Structure 1
Amino acid sequence: MDVVHAMKLYINKMVDDAGPGIKALLMDKETISIISIVYAQSDMLQKEVYLFEAIENYVPRQESLKFVKCIVFVRPTEKNITYLIRELKHPHFNNIISKTNINALAEVDEFEVVKDVQEFYADYLAINSHTFSLNVKSCYQNVHHWNPISFQRITQGIISILLSLNRCPLIRYQSSSEMAKRLAEQIRQTIAKENVLFDTNTSTESQPILLILDRKFDPITPLLNQWTYQAMLHELLTIANNRVSLANVPGVAKELKEIVLSQEQDEFYQKNLYLNYGEICSNIKCLMEDFQQKTQQQKKIETIADMKSFIETYPQFRKMSGTVTKHVTLIDEICRIVNASSLLEVSESEQELISTGNHSESLKRISKLISSDKIRNCDAIRLTLLYALTYQNNSNYDIRGLCRLLERRNMNPGDIKIINQLMEFCGLKQRTGGKGTTTTPEILTTEHVRAFTKKVIKGFRGVENIYTQHTPVIKDLIEDLYRCRLREILYPFLGSVQQRERPQEIIIFIIGGITYEESLTVYNLNRQLQGTKILLGGSIVHNSKSFLDEIRCACQYHSAETAEPTVMGSSSHHNSGNTGALASIINKIENL
């Protein structure tokens, strides 16, 4: 179950099927990302693909370039079909296409230029061998319901994953999520409808398990600061389609305004992907020293033999130079943000907050940090959110006091409103169905945090790094599923068919997005759990900013439906015109 390998097989096949000679590749904005994340442009040039066009921007040429073979690789959408009707050559669709659309294409192919039409199930981003994303930014129309467009896209993406891996799984879902149940049912219906495509599953002795979850099951993980390389890059700088933008960083060279990160092309990145901050800094120092040594050797060209050696090693030397420059620039910017924003202190407080269960100490510590001008507003908000999620049912819960501290930072009440929105999205009432008891033990109430912490401490006994102690909830779920202990009342099978033996293959899909920390967890579990392969996917790969953006989007419609005028009780201070708005926000938070 290697999604990068599956993606490369499809791309290689479509290029090989076109035969030798000059080729052009016509794509849409989504398939451009799908291809570029696994192949560099130089790789495609080696396959004789010399021209790359976006179908949205494509203007048909007046002259006919009969010597160029055009490979069209697009999603089977109505808009793309319209574009294709305008210009036909050699289309490949990355998911199932309807017969109606094929007939529409055939009718306009007057000169019979279409050689063949194929479905290549490459409708997802292969982040790495065990992780995929569908790059859908917003799943929720409100807190409880699907955005219809996202629902269709995610259904298609999961079907594509299953077909590309040649798998027909048993489906389990999070019972507390209507969205998870609906997606599970839609996938089962699609499998039944396309039963011919799914009738070739003979690759494993037991059926794989597809477990569908809703991001509400663990809102803690996307809110935490990260300390492994890939996760830090995404949290602090944002990775989009394997690219990091440094356009807003002062003093950065023009060629480094956008940096491409590829595990396939970049050995340093591949080796340091999951290493922590200290190890990365040490390794970049070693890389620089090695590069400086090679630079000195290159200067000593005294004989013909030296010149020959230089010419032979120059491509590797130039590649190493690019690697050093790229990662020194990235790590330098990461270090600047960490130091300027006191992220070590913030992160230590986060870990203490979610793991110790000591309310008074946690409140005292984060209150001090929120009152400090050393930390960023976004970190002050995240500390408050973590406190609200962890201690909402504590008798001394003081979200009101923390909101007052946020207001003193001159934060807009609209920014503070995210606390209210988060609690609407995944607060205690959302997690319990309004019954006062959690429907799933994995939700991080105060009592669960204490039990969870014991597991964390046991798992990290002897580990001194206090900044990476947190373990995502998904680890417990996968281990329970692996040991056949995952409770069916909480994660039921869809349909009457059930599996009692240990699964050999597990596919986890999270509605509302995954994180790189969870990807690392799955990477480690794949190494630890012998005989079982695990694949993790989600609607998108989140950092804290994108996660909060998704919550804002989900709560816009929901808040409009449920909003009621609220009046705050007596207040001891503040005459600001924003006080009434803040009071309304606080009252809503306390009532959630």
Structure 2
Amino acid sequence: MNLVSAVRNYVGKMIDDSGVGVMKILLMDKETISVVSMVYAQSELLQREVYLFELLNNFNREPMRHLKCICFIRPTRENIENLCNELRNPNYNLYFIYFTNVIDKDSLKQLAEADEHEVVREVQEVFADFLCMARHVFSFNIIGCSKKNRWKHDVLQRCTSGLTSLLLALKRCPVIRYQASSEMADELAKCVGNLISKEAALFDFRHTDVAPLLLILDRRFDPLTPLLNQWTYQAMVHELIGIHNNRVNLSSVPNTSEELKEVVLSAEQDEFYSKCMFMNFGEIGSQIKELMENYQKTAQSHQKIESISDMKTFIENYPAFKKMSGTVAKHITLVGELSRLVQVNNLLEVSETEQELACHSNHSEALQHVKKLITNDAVTDLDATRLVMLYTLKYERHSSNDIPGLIELLNRRNVPEEFRRVAASVLTYSNASVNGVHHQSLSESPVAATRRLLKGLKGVENIYTQHQPMLKEILENLLRGRLKESAYPYNGNNPVRVDRVRDVIVFVAGGVTYEEANTVHTLNLANPDVRIILGSTNVHNTKSFFEEIAASVSDGNAYDISRFRDSEKLT
């Protein structure tokens, strides 16, 4: 159940099948180029004789008839049309065509008719219709999957085909469970189940003692987690700077050198990042110090070149030394910028209040802290808005809540209108009633709240990491066989039921967070006999979650928060 290995194997096989000892070009679409780049470094592909990378919809490519072309694309109507045009006027010698998912017979017929020059040598289906964010995390990079809390039709189709592709890549034919309170989860479960039945021959895998499980959830089951500041390395980088397809744009960071304007954060290619990505920020300092000390020792040893033997050793080790140098520079820049943002934006105090809202129930104290921070100029508009949203979610039913007063404070500090509208919409988003079942509110009964608080405080290391995502509780109940069937029923009229689980794929419609990815990583370590994979329409930070809420509650009027992604230049 290693997603990165699954996709790497597909890409490696495509390259090998096109022949050894010949120059190749990799022709992709705008999605598959991300699929490949997230599991393979460009240098690795160059070593495998792939020398050029092009987009299928680039119609100004120079003909290079001496090259073999590996075409790796999604089987969309647009891609089929573009590929047919390519084959009618081929730019390359031979074509090896690979689709990321099942392709229909009509499309195959179109391609056959377009291959007038008989340049196609291979047409295959490989199942890599998803993005590997990590070995246990995948995404479709879709923000705004619903409207009025109903699936957008094209997104539902994308998630259905993407999930079946993932299952085929892992060679799993699962039992499906879904969140009963969500019509979206119900509909996706049915679509995936129907497609598995339709393509039964593809899913005819060897039966295992314990059937794999696909659990489909709706982001609205826990709107709290995406609104909290994070304190693990990977999650902090995504929250404060942003990670897109394993790349981080540092062009706005003061005094950044040209080579560090954009950096790659990949656990497969960066040993330090793989080691530290789930560590709390307080631990990263000592790791950075150790990394720097090792680099200095290596640099000093390279300075002692006194003989031909020393020169030879230096040349042999230079690539590794240069890579180490880049790793040191990258992480020192990242950690330095995170530290700066934590200080100038008063994030320690902001995060302490967020955790207080998430884990405690002292209304008057919480209200005063939120008001104080909203009126603090050091606090960003984004943080001020999410504090109001957290307060709203927690105290919507409190008899003396002051939600209107907090919204007015946002108005007074001239928070962008899109932020204010999202703050006012968070209850509509989180409390949507579907099929007569109301989503779990954050305003629990006193007994339930006390039980959750005591459970949450066990082993707490500091006040900034008290909160635990609700996904953890759901998965722990699943692993113990205690996940209620009334709340998470099986799909189908006569479904197969499982008493225990081993391979679990969790898919969250509406987005997940890196905090939840960390939760799954921790559960996998604690339960070596269980393998859990987490996927979603998107991996959120607060800004992208704002967009998700905006799209979900939109009534068709202009509601574009995306233009505010870069509106706050954090200084």
**Into which bin does the TM-score normalised by the smaller protein fall?**
over 0.9
Distance 2:57 2:553 in 1: 32
After TM superposition, the structure 1 stretch with the greater mean CA deviation from structure 2, 377-386 or 287-296, is 287-296
1:189-200 residue pairs with structure 2 within 5 A?
189-200=194-205
Of residues 407, 429, 445, the one that matches 1:425 is 429
3-state SS of paired residue (1:68): strand
User: Which digits, 9 at most, give the CA deviation of each residue in 1:305-348, with x for residues without a partner?
Assistant: 43333223222211111111111111111111110001011111
- In the alignment, structure 2 segments of 5+ residues that lack a partner are 88-94, 560-571
Aligned AA (1:132)? F
Of residues 346, 349, 352, the one that matches 1:348 is 352
8 Å CA contact 1:225–1:235 kept in 2: the answer is yes
Is 1:106 matched with 2:112?
yes
* Counterpart position of 2:48: 47
* Counterpart position of 1:579: none
- In the alignment, structure 1 segments of 5+ residues that lack a partner are 562-592
1:205-216 residue pairs with structure 2 within 5 A?
205-216=209-220
- How far off its partner does 1:200 sit? 1.9
- How far off its partner does 1:201 sit? 4.0
Distance 2:62 2:556 in 1: 49
User: Which digits, 9 at most, give the CA deviation of each residue in 1:94-129, with x for residues without a partner?
Assistant: 001110000000011112111121000100011111
Aligned AA (2:185)? A
8 Å CA contact 2:352–2:464 kept in 1: the answer is yes
The Cα RMSD (Å) is 1.8
Distance change (3 Å), C-alpha of 1:52 and 1:323: same
* Counterpart position of 1:177: 182
Distance 2:427 2:324 in 1: 48
Aligned AA (1:186)? C
* Counterpart position of 1:37: 38
Distance 1:60 1:391 in 2: 58
After TM superposition, the structure 1 stretch with the greater mean CA deviation from structure 2, 341-350 or 53-62, is 53-62
3-state SS of paired residue (1:330): helix
8 Å CA contact 2:220–2:439 kept in 1: the answer is no
User: Which digits, 9 at most, give the CA deviation of each residue in 1:485-542, with x for residues without a partner?
Assistant: 1111111101222324211111100000111000000001011124211111000100
Distance 1:287 1:343 in 2: 26
3-state SS of paired residue (1:216): helix
Of residues 379, 382, 385, the one that matches 2:386 is 382
Of residues 396, 405, 411, the one that matches 2:409 is 405
3-state SS of paired residue (2:177): strand
Aligned AA (1:154)? C
After TM superposition, the structure 1 stretch with the greater mean CA deviation from structure 2, 191-200 or 497-506, is 497-506
3-state SS of paired residue (1:87): helix
Distance change (3 Å), C-alpha of 1:201 and 1:439: farther
Distance 1:270 1:411 in 2: 38
Distance 1:305 1:48 in 2: 32
* Counterpart position of 2:233: 229
Distance 1:473 1:272 in 2: 24
Is 1:57 matched with 2:54?
no
* Counterpart position of 1:165: 170
Distance change (3 Å), C-alpha of 1:226 and 1:431: farther
8 Å CA contact 1:3–1:129 kept in 2: the answer is yes
Of residues 257, 281, 285, the one that matches 2:285 is 281
- How far off its partner does 1:2 sit? 1.1
* Counterpart position of 2:568: none
8 Å CA contact 1:76–1:94 kept in 2: the answer is yes
Distance 2:250 2:256 in 1: 7
1:121-140 residue pairs with structure 2 within 5 A?
121-140=127-146
Aligned AA (2:11)? I
Distance 1:534 1:549 in 2: 28
1:505-544 residue pairs with structure 2 within 5 A?
505-544=503-542
User: Which digits, 9 at most, give the CA deviation of each residue in 1:150-184, with x for residues without a partner?
Assistant: 11111111011111011111111111111111111
Distance 1:365 1:201 in 2: 58
User: Which digits, 9 at most, give the CA deviation of each residue in 1:272-293, with x for residues without a partner?
Assistant: 0101111112211221122223
* Counterpart position of 1:155: 160
* Counterpart position of 1:590: none
8 Å CA contact 2:220–2:430 kept in 1: the answer is yes
Equivalenced residue count is: 548
Distance change (3 Å), C-alpha of 1:232 and 1:28: same
User: Which digits, 9 at most, give the CA deviation of each residue in 1:362-385, with x for residues without a partner?
Assistant: 112111111211211111111110
Distance change (3 Å), C-alpha of 1:305 and 1:13: closer
Distance 1:30 1:334 in 2: 30
What is the aligned-residue identity percentage? Answer: 49
* Counterpart position of 2:23: 22
Is 1:299 matched with 2:303?
yes
3-state SS of paired residue (1:468): coil
Of residues 448, 462, 465, the one that matches 1:465 is 462
After TM superposition, the structure 1 stretch with the greater mean CA deviation from structure 2, 400-409 or 85-94, is 400-409
8 Å CA contact 1:394–1:446 kept in 2: the answer is no
- How far off its partner does 1:414 sit? 4.2
Distance 2:537 2:461 in 1: 34
* Counterpart position of 1:568: none
8 Å CA contact 1:141–1:554 kept in 2: the answer is yes
TM-score by length of 2: 0.93
Is 1:455 matched with 2:455?
yes
Distance 1:157 1:321 in 2: 38
- How far off its partner does 1:218 sit? 0.4
8 Å CA contact 1:357–1:450 kept in 2: the answer is no
* Counterpart position of 1:13: 13
* Counterpart position of 2:2: 2
Aligned AA (1:52)? F
8 Å CA contact 1:355–1:450 kept in 2: the answer is no
User: Which digits, 9 at most, give the CA deviation of each residue in 1:245-296, with x for residues without a partner?
Assistant: 0122232111111111111111111110101111112211221122223223
